[in-house]
Amino acid sequence: MNIQEIAITSNVRKKIQKAVKNTSIIFEDENGDIVVNVEAYVGNTEHTQRYPLEEILGEDVFNYDAEFWVFN
């Protein structure tokens, strides 16, 4: 499993939770970390032409080869 961990502040956490609500894309694990399924997210962004995580954090942050992004 290929995971990219990304450190975020509590304000950014709230923005991410508001921006992406689809539970097939994003969920909160037992540690309170936000986990994003990269394949599902990319598929959704291609369909909607919206890129909420990139708008919040910038494009340079993400490794699209990862299976999951874990925000902690």
- Domains held by the chain: number: 1
pLDDT digits (tens, 9 = 90+) for 2-26: 999 999 999 999 999 999 999 999 9
pLDDT at 44: 96
Report the pLDDT value the prediction gives residue 38, as an integer from 0 to 100: 98
Sign of CA dihedral 14, 50, 35, 63: negative
Beta strands in 1-67 (DSSP E): 3-6, 26-28, 34-37
Nearest CA among 52, 56, 12 for reference residue 34: 12
pLDDT band at 1 (very low <50, low <70, confident <90, very high): confident
pLDDT score at 67? 98
Reported as half-sphere exposure (CB side, CA atoms, 13 A), residue 24 has a value of 6
Q: Which residue range is the domain that position 29 belongs to?
A: 3-71
This prediction's pTM: 0.93
Q: Which pLDDT band, with edges at 50, 70 and 90, does 28 fall under?
A: very high
